[in-house]
A and B are shown apart, each in its own frame.
Chain A
Amino acid sequence: MNIHEYQAKDLLRHAGVPVQPGEVAETPTAVEAIASRYGTAVVVKAQVHAGGRGKAGGVKLAKTPAEARAHAERILGMSIKGLVVSRVLVAQAADIASESYVGIIVDRVSKRPVVMVSPAGGIDIEEVAATTPERIRRIAVDPRYGLQSYEALELAFFLYRDVHRARAAARILRQLYTAFIESGASLAEINPLVATPSGDLVAVDAKISIDDNELDRHPELAALRDETAEAPSETDARKANLTFIKLEGNVGCVVNGAGLAMATMDLVKYYGGEPANFLDIGGSSNPEKVVNALRIITSDANVRVILFNIFGGITRTDDVANGIVTAIRQHPLRVPIVIRLTGTNEQEAVRILAGAGLSAVTDMDEAVRAAVALVGAETTA
């Protein structure tokens, strides 16, 4: 789960990291009031889950409260990568002598948290890694002991030759590590970490992603979720305990299991179609889940055919069949449906479907080909 910059900064502040002062606002009037109170130049920053906010015009410097208000009027309500801005952060502008990057991720190869620093701050770290990898230094931390002072200082000296700044940066790295572990993050970064002309360090932008699997352990973090920043269909799916990702195509896919769901999308594409979504109904076969899945898929106006691919193991195919029949009774389909099911209680499933005038095939290839052909037939008709 991604959280907003202002939320990430609150977590860092709580961990002791020096953070650029700022407050969040939802109206131009509130933005102007904050800027007047600060009495300094401010930066008005769109709070959306998208990179490249600056390039999109979502980050503006204002020298006066009136200017801050004018920027807020334009930024609030604007769309950045399809996400509408409903909140801005009003932050006191910092004097910048230099900018660095500090961040932590969980690394799959070393199976440890890895702390990364770079003196090339303010730009995307993946770009630095691709173009000037020598400007990044990393340490894989043994999670049983945490980030040690000497490790933090070694990284900090890669950023600053001056011992005072290096010690301050080392302290920030250890505070960042603490925030990372305590919030169950999968990523935490400060970019840029700014050194001011007077030698102070301050976090000017921050990003934290929380591991979804930690949210039951951290209800206070789960409460930070901003549903307005998600596609409505994905919020709907999450509440129904389904994993759903909307794509651009027109073949709506309902599959049990993530690997089979990916393989089904791939096969749709192989036969010349375009998947409309990734949807995994999971291992259990609660008919309610199938009803919700169909509702979410059919709410996508692009969908021209629905393709079920169910391999019954723990999932009982008769439960899935019951779900399909129930869903269609509640909301008759406006597009054709192709059903592939095989495995546990298959014969019962076929009987249930037949009772509702539906048929099923047992072969995955045959089902995908049929679904893609139906889309093609409709397009040419």
Chain B
Amino acid sequence: MSIMIDQGTRLLVQGITGRDGSFHTRQMIEYGTAVVAGVTPGKGGQTFDAGSHAAPPVPIFDTVADAVEATGANVSVIYVPPLFAADAMMEAAAAGIPLIVCITEGVPVLDMTRVYPFVRDRGARLIGPNCPGLISPGVCKVGIIPGRICAPGPVGLVSRSGTLTYELVDQLTRAGFGQTTCVGIGGDPINGTNFIDCLAAFEADAATTAVVMIGEIGGTDEQEAARYVSLHMSKPVVGFIAGRTAPPGRRMGHAGAIISGATGTAAEKVHAMADAGIPVGDRPVDVITLLRERMSAAGRGAA
């Protein structure tokens, strides 16, 4: 029915008492997510007011290990400041959390070169950092994607962006295309989960019948994902690439959104995707048209 998060998600919030952490914890609880624990070192034993009479206060622990032992948390979401985020990701992986979602923006890339193998060696999946998290509409939300723009349905969505994701999700929902899960993998040069990981999960998810993939300039992730789609995916995929007008050598906000030399251009990505049978919209609104065409073609093929 969804990928990575569902009714069985028992969420732990690292940095639950911070400004962003507390605000978004209440939003996630309001959406129906089971937030079972928070971690703030030094505040163990206190509770976090869920901000709603329907939801009980959330117990706070000093360490992730304590929280996991006491509550059986199986997903962690991280809202700690950038220079503490690497440690938070590693602490979650060391405590045996299988899915770690890091929202924090501004994590040094050298920190990520150490976090990535640490997390992988412990068998955990990391999403982010510098990402909006994920949402399985109507079921569960981990991160900051606004719930009201989503609707349940058959489309999977994976994106490197934040607000551009919201723009596309909103247009999908308004056009009648609900979603199984929307995943923001983040805009940093080194992140835990790439397009291919998400595409494979959507291919395996029975409820997903088509996928929207939103990329941007920088790196070669979209090109590799395109090859993967042409070889391994039976479901239709449509795409969008941001940054066609970006000048080379300038970082366009996201740490990973930069054309280096001649690589990582939007044109290169659009070509690779088109070659792999992934139509790419010139405008965000074109993505909806392309999706409608591909889904009705796939529907006829199946019938």
Contacts and interface: CB of A to CB of B under 8 A. Distances in A.
Contacts of A256: 163
A243 interface: yes
Interface in B122-180: 144-146, 149, 159-167, 170
A262 B217 contact: yes
B113 A313 contact: no
B210 interface: no
Interface in A232-266: 243, 245, 247, 255-263, 265-266
A216 B81 CA distance: 11
Nearest to A142: B117
Contacts of B161: 257-260
Interface stretch (B37-45, B247-255, B294-302): B247-255
B55 interface: no
Interface stretch (A29-37, A106-114, A131-139, A190-198): A106-114
A214 B285 contact: no
Given A261-B253, A266-B243, A313-B145, A109 B110 contact: no
Nearest to A258: B253
Given A111-B113, A256-B163, A313-B163, A211 B247 contact: no
A217 B254 contact: no
Interface residues of A, number: 51
Interface stretch (B9-17, B101-109, B201-209, B229-237): B101-109
A126 B242 contact: no
Interface stretch (A65-73, A275-283, A319-327): A275-283
A111 B116 contact: yes
B96 interface: no
Nearest to B217: A262
Contacts of A142: 117
Given A143-B110, A214-B108, A260 B167 contact: yes
B214 A259 contact: yes
A111 B112 contact: yes
A263 B162 CA distance: 12
| Most chain B beta-carbon neighbours within 10 Å: one of A181, A258, A343 | A258
A365 B283 contact: yes
B116 to A, nearest CB: 5
Contacts of B244: 266, 269
Interface in B61-104: 82-83
Contacts of A100: none
Contacts of A130: 261-262
A186 B261 CA distance: 15
B167 A364 contact: yes
A344 B108 CA distance: 31
Nearest to A125: B261
A269 B245 contact: yes
| Most chain B beta-carbon neighbours within 10 Å: one of A256, A257, A263, A283 | A263
Contacts of B113: 106, 111-113, 143
B190 interface: yes
A208 to B, nearest CB: 13
Contacts of A311: 163, 166-167, 170
Contacts of B164: 257, 259-260, 262-263
B284 interface: yes
A262 B189 contact: no
Given A258-B257, A259-B161, A266-B242, A342 B109 contact: no
A106 to B, nearest CB: 5
Interface in A278-297: 278, 280, 283
Contacts of A260: 161-164, 166-167, 242
Contact of A108 (B82, B189, B285): B189
Contacts of A184: 108, 110
A267 interface: yes
B256 interface: yes
Given A258-B253, A270-B282, 19 more contacts: A108-B221, A111-B113, A143-B110, A143-B114, A144-B117, A213-B106, A213-B107, A217-B108, A257-B161, A258-B161, A258-B252, A259-B165, A259-B253, A262-B253, A266-B245, A266-B266, A267-B283, A275-B245, A278-B252
24 contacts: A106-B189, A144-B117, A211-B110, A213-B109, A213-B255, A214-B110, A216-B82, A247-B245, A258-B162, A259-B161, A259-B214, A259-B242, A260-B161, A261-B253, A262-B217, A262-B242, A262-B246, A268-B245, A278-B246, A278-B250, A278-B253, A344-B146, A364-B167, A364-B285
Interface of B: 82-83, 106-110, 112-114, 116-117, 144-146, 149, 159-167, 170, 187, 189-190, 214, 216-217, 219-221, 240, 242-247, 250, 252-257, 261-262, 266, 282-285
